[in-house]
Structure 1
Amino acid sequence: MYTEGEHAYLTCSAEYKETMDIIYVNYNHGTCSHNGPYGIRNLCNGKTNCSFDVSNSNIGSSCGANGIATLEVRYNCIRHGGWSDWNTSASCPVTCGGAFRNVTRTCSNPFPNEIGDTCSGEASDQQSCNTNMCIEATWDEWSLWSECSRSCGSGIQTRLRQCLNQKNTTDGYVSDCVGDGTESRSCNTEVCPYCHDNHFQYTSIQSSSSLKEDISSGYGYLLLNGIYTIKCCGRIKMWEFVPVNTGRLTFVIMRTTTDNKYKCVGSNQIDITATDLRKSTQFDVSEDKRIVITKGDIIGWFDSGSNIVGFHDCLPNNYMCPLSYRLSNAIREGDVVDVTSLSGTSDRSYTVNYSTVENRPIAFDLPSKPMQIPDHINIDALVMAISISDQDYGDYIQDFKLDYDNEYFYFDTTMRNVYVKKKLPHTVGQMSFSLNITLTVQDSCYNEVTSNVTFVVYNAPPVISGLQNNLEVDPATAVSEPYITQFQVKDPSGDNISCMINETNAATDLFYLQLDDIGMTKNNNNVYLKLMNNESIQSNTSSQFILTITCEDGTENTEFELKIKFQTKNKGTPTIPSTDSNAIPIIIGVCAFILCLTILVICACIWKRRRKLVVNETSEDKLNHATCSIAAGVTENPYHDMGQTAEQHNTNDYVEMSGKPHAKEKAFHLGTTEVGAYTEAWR
């Protein structure tokens, strides 16, 4: 058991040249548990000794959290067998002229362990002996074996030898060598890993009245061992069989999960009618239903109990007869079957063959353009999710090859996400960097797909918050206030920031900016807009100024527009907000409501008065005597020294911009949510 941040050491026997096979990984922190073995497997599999740092990137997981996560690794040490020296103690059958003697060797240097491979090659051979010249003709040494005719699937090698001293008698009689001058042997007998476009025929498929029917109860069979065990990878494109009963037949492919347990990874169905009975039947599987097969898979079938597939009896010890297990019920895709719970038999040869084609590689679903990310995101932050698709039925991912040498990113094989490995590069004055991560994935047939994912890491501009676009200032009180308004500025990357008044709509030196740190600021500091000369305000009491303020961090800048209007306000006069686009609908609505209310009050007073007048009085007299009063307790709003009308945002709203707006786009909006509001700021 190791802890995140420690250095893990895994070792096997160097004396016996053992190699590792990672079988179990548990990387755990709280509720986050990672069991994918791919990262450590790629680091350690096939090695005698392996050491690595316990980290998210090496394990291929984001479960780590600052040295808290724990790692448990289980592995096997595989010891493959090795040949001993040849035993040459056998005697030579001749004393001259050359012959061959048998030599043997054993797979004992070292002996393989229970999970290792036995020695490949022949345990016996022939070596020439007593090659000294005799009077009779003799053979020359054999030539070297030729190259194998096939790289897998059993090829042929040949070698040659020449007969020497054929004319070796005094009378010129030709004495020929005994034996053949050529020799051949099998080579590369291991099964090819790829099925390709092949037909696997285990029994003779033909119409036959001698086929037997299974009359026992049950649904079907799984063929566990022998010739029916699949030894290559590809896809099933055709089933061939001879039916002896009607009904729906379902072929299945089962894949081993643990000892004696198999999982159904795919199935194909065909309906058998009376016209198909005891005839060779070929079922061509559609492209989308061709099941992926890999080495070690087994085939089987089931039906409704009518036992559709016919069979022949097998003689004892006939290798053509597999060990078959009777199914007690139907199998669905994803079901797991423990064969130890089923009854078995090995005295039948079933009339089932199949054909294959190659499988298709998996694919990455990546954006067509590089993904852009800011340079200030945190370590272990999610960058993007990688979509991996496989169009083959029943296929799976065999392995991930991780980009261990990548400096800035790592890939979580379980979540299939890319995360930040270390702080991203950032240089003041450089707007962006281009970074990559390489992802390689293998499917069940070892089809390998590699893709480069490109990220553009950019510098985020300064962020503005707490800003108002429109200010209405009373000159009479502005001279006593420390500033007109304030806002906050922050750089996400922590760079120094400077702010300045870039331009105005009129030539004036009335305003200036002051930052918390004189001239420059970091983090979330205040910026104040102040008056340069308070005494000159009186001459600008009816002026409106449009200021363009720019804040920059040495790489990018954020620019916004601020409107300031000086307007003298009388005591006792309600403050009226400036008519910006958001305030106008509110003002119109309020005025309309007040007008309607006034009309209703007047009408009510007139109606009440008319009831008291004589019926024959004229309408004019009635109106002359009508009175209406409003409650004396209603007072007007007190006048405030300074009123502000603005498009106001929450203090935590901010905006990121990369460059100046176009010349025609003078108005600058802050944040993603804009709320027009009338506020009165007390300074």
Structure 2
Amino acid sequence: LKEDTSPVLFHDQKGKYVRIKFKFSPTALDLHTTTQFDVADSERIVIIQGDIIGWQFCSLVAFLPLIVSKHHLPDRPVTINISSEPVTIPDHLNVDSFVMTISILDPDYGDYIQDFKLDYQNEYFYFDTQQRSVHVKKALPHLVGHSNATLNFTCIVQDSCFNLANITITIISFNVPPAVTDLQDILILDPQQLSDNSSFHIFRVEDPSNDNVSCGLSKISPSTDRLTLEMDGNEAFLRVFNHSTSNTTLEYELEIYCDDGTDETIIKLIVHFRSKKNSESAELKIIYVAGSIGGLLL
């Protein structure tokens, strides 16, 4: 070897060559000695069975057998990163809806994810290998009276060094209580304008899981039989019977429930009886949804 010769390491991977240059200026003292070359992280490549390593000196190429078993870095496994907590989703998600992304990493430079062992037998979910995300495969299970269903999805990954990693993900689908919309911000009942049988639309109710919903009055304060709740499909109406202008009660507080057989939505309605010229705003708002926090009732 002459001084300032720069050998180049060749790495044969399926007929492709990768060059990694080392600056090496040997002297006569270097003859019959061993020199260690440390490859920078950014230039490291994966050596697998069947690869050939050699040296190029100027225009000459010499391929030398190398023993790497004693000094190679250990191959690290694939890492799959997800939260330790179960994934929670509503049970009315449509087919192909996004559920979650799975973070899959290979810590070794040059390694890559080669294959996914797909869970084709899974009834409710499938895995998108391009986006590395889980999606809904078919309508999720829903049973009236049961707030949650616990499901599983298994992900198996193989890298270019044939290392396998797998993880089982717990997915909890939960029932969503009835949704109340079209709430009246102002409900003022003028005694002078009421007939013996007056009706007022107060809200609309729908269930995301298409369960049958029943609504009714659970409490009226002060008690009276002149106010009732009536349903026409998904529409709720407040009916007023035989209200007299001589009635001294000007305000009633109504508590209304809507139940889908599993969860219950509670509404509180304040009704004012007074002339619109001197009226105050009535209040209608949802004050409580049973089991709605996070959608989980285990």
What's the TM-score once normalised by structure 1's chain length?
0.38
Q: Is 1:245 matched up with 2:4? A: yes
Deviation track 1:252-300 (CA, whole Å, cap 9, x = no partner) reads 65644xxx5x375xx8665546789846321335778753333344557
1:46-445 paired onto structure 2 within 5 Å: 211=1, 244-245=3-4, 251=9, 253=11, 255-256=13-14, 262=16, 271-272=23-24, 278=30, 280-285=34-39, 290-299=44-53, 310=57, 348=62, 355-445=71-161
Q: Which amino acid aligns with 1:563?
A: I
Residues 267 and 284 of structure 2 are in contact (CA less than 8 Å); yes or no, is this contact kept in structure 1?
A: no
1:12-31 paired onto structure 2 within 5 Å: none
Q: Which residue of 2 aligns with 1:659?
A: 291
Deviation at 1:658, TM superposition (A): 4.5
Cα distance in 2, alignment partners of residues 253 and 478 from structure 1: 92
Closer, same or farther in 2 for the Cα pair 1:357/1:552, shift >3 Å?
same
| SS in structure 2 of the partner of residue 404 of structure 1 | coil
Cα distance in 1, alignment partners of residues 204 and 177 from structure 2: 14
Unaligned runs of 5+ in 1: 1-210, 214-243, 302-308, 312-325, 327-344, 518-524, 579-644, 649-653, 662-683
Q: Which residue of 2 aligns with 1:47?
A: none
Q: Which residue of 2 aligns with 1:477?
A: 193
Q: Which residue of 2 aligns with 1:526?
A: 235
Deviation track 1:399-444 (CA, whole Å, cap 9, x = no partner) reads 2111122111111222212122221111111111100011111111
Residues 396 and 443 of structure 1 are in contact (CA less than 8 Å); yes or no, is this contact kept in structure 2?
A: yes
Q: Which residue of 2 aligns with 1:234?
A: none
Q: Which amino acid aligns with 2:225?
A: D
Unaligned runs of 5+ in 2: 294-298
Q: Is 1:465 matched up with 2:181? A: yes
Deviation track 1:34-62 (CA, whole Å, cap 9, x = no partner) reads xxxxxxxxxxxxxxxxxxxxxxxxxxxxx
| SS in structure 2 of the partner of residue 377 of structure 1 | coil
Residues 197 and 242 of structure 2 are in contact (CA less than 8 Å); yes or no, is this contact kept in structure 1?
A: no
Q: Which residue of 2 aligns with 1:495?
A: 211
Deviation track 1:510-545 (CA, whole Å, cap 9, x = no partner) reads 32111114xxxxxxx2111222x23346404x5222
Closer, same or farther in 2 for the Cα pair 1:288/1:483, shift >3 Å?
farther
**Among 194, 202, 226, which residue is 1:486 paired with?**
202
Residues 503 and 547 of structure 1 are in contact (CA less than 8 Å); yes or no, is this contact kept in structure 2?
A: yes
Residues 41 and 109 of structure 2 are in contact (CA less than 8 Å); yes or no, is this contact kept in structure 1?
A: no
Cα distance in 2, alignment partners of residues 429 and 481 from structure 1: 37
Deviation at 1:469, TM superposition (A): 4.9
Cα distance in 2, alignment partners of residues 477 and 263 from structure 1: 92
Cα distance in 1, alignment partners of residues 17 and 21 from structure 2: 18
Cα distance in 2, alignment partners of residues 253 and 566 from structure 1: 89
Closer, same or farther in 2 for the Cα pair 1:482/1:379, shift >3 Å?
same
| SS in structure 1 of the partner of residue 208 of structure 2 | coil
Deviation at 1:393, TM superposition (A): 0.5
Q: Which residue of 2 aligns with 1:545?
A: 252
Deviation track 1:197-225 (CA, whole Å, cap 9, x = no partner) reads xxxxxxxxxxxxxx3x5xxxxxxxxxxxx
Residues 462 and 497 of structure 1 are in contact (CA less than 8 Å); yes or no, is this contact kept in structure 2?
A: yes
Cα distance in 2, alignment partners of residues 403 and 539 from structure 1: 69
Deviation track 1:570-599 (CA, whole Å, cap 9, x = no partner) reads xxx5x6653xxxxxxxxxxxxxxxxxxxxx
**Among 267, 276, 284, which residue is 1:560 paired with?**
267
Residues 469 and 562 of structure 1 are in contact (CA less than 8 Å); yes or no, is this contact kept in structure 2?
A: no
Deviation at 1:502, TM superposition (A): 2.0
Q: Which amino acid aligns with 2:237?
A: Y
Closer, same or farther in 2 for the Cα pair 1:658/1:292, shift >3 Å?
farther
Closer, same or farther in 2 for the Cα pair 1:366/1:349, shift >3 Å?
closer
The structure showing larger relative contact order (alpha-carbon pairs under 8 Å, at least 6 residues apart) is: 2
| SS in structure 2 of the partner of residue 535 of structure 1 | coil
Q: Which amino acid aligns with 1:398?
A: Q
Please report the RMSD computed on the Cα atoms of aligned residues, expressed in angstroms: 3.6
Cα distance in 2, alignment partners of residues 272 and 560 from structure 1: 82
Deviation at 1:456, TM superposition (A): 0.4
Larger strand share, 1 or 2: 2
Cα distance in 2, alignment partners of residues 502 and 442 from structure 1: 58
Closer, same or farther in 2 for the Cα pair 1:351/1:406, shift >3 Å?
closer
* Percent of residue pairs identical: 39
Q: Which amino acid aligns with 1:566?
A: F
Q: Which amino acid aligns with 1:375?
A: D
Closer, same or farther in 2 for the Cα pair 1:657/1:395, shift >3 Å?
farther
Deviation at 1:445, TM superposition (A): 1.7
Q: Which amino acid aligns with 1:565?
A: H
Q: Is 1:535 matched up with 2:243? A: yes
Cα distance in 1, alignment partners of residues 54 and 63 from structure 2: 13
Closer, same or farther in 2 for the Cα pair 1:361/1:545, shift >3 Å?
same
What's the TM-score once normalised by structure 2's chain length?
0.81
Closer, same or farther in 2 for the Cα pair 1:391/1:472, shift >3 Å?
same
Deviation track 1:112-138 (CA, whole Å, cap 9, x = no partner) reads xxxxxxxxxxxxxxxxxxxxxxxxxxx
Cα distance in 2, alignment partners of residues 658 and 254 from structure 1: 65
| SS in structure 2 of the partner of residue 476 of structure 1 | helix
Larger helix share, 1 or 2: 1
Deviation at 1:383, TM superposition (A): 1.6
Residues 266 and 287 of structure 2 are in contact (CA less than 8 Å); yes or no, is this contact kept in structure 1?
A: no
Cα distance in 2, alignment partners of residues 411 and 655 from structure 1: 40
Deviation track 1:634-677 (CA, whole Å, cap 9, x = no partner) reads xxxxxxxxxxx6689xxxxx99944379xxxxxxxxxxxxxxxx
Residues 463 and 492 of structure 1 are in contact (CA less than 8 Å); yes or no, is this contact kept in structure 2?
A: yes
Deviation at 1:467, TM superposition (A): 0.7
Cα distance in 1, alignment partners of residues 5 and 101 from structure 2: 49
Cα distance in 2, alignment partners of residues 561 and 469 from structure 1: 12
Deviation at 1:548, TM superposition (A): 1.8
Q: Which amino acid aligns with 1:554?
A: G
Residues 266 and 288 of structure 2 are in contact (CA less than 8 Å); yes or no, is this contact kept in structure 1?
A: no
Cα distance in 2, alignment partners of residues 437 and 389 from structure 1: 19
| SS in structure 2 of the partner of residue 484 of structure 1 | strand
**Among 225, 229, 232, which residue is 1:516 paired with?**
232
Q: Which amino acid aligns with 2:163?
A: N
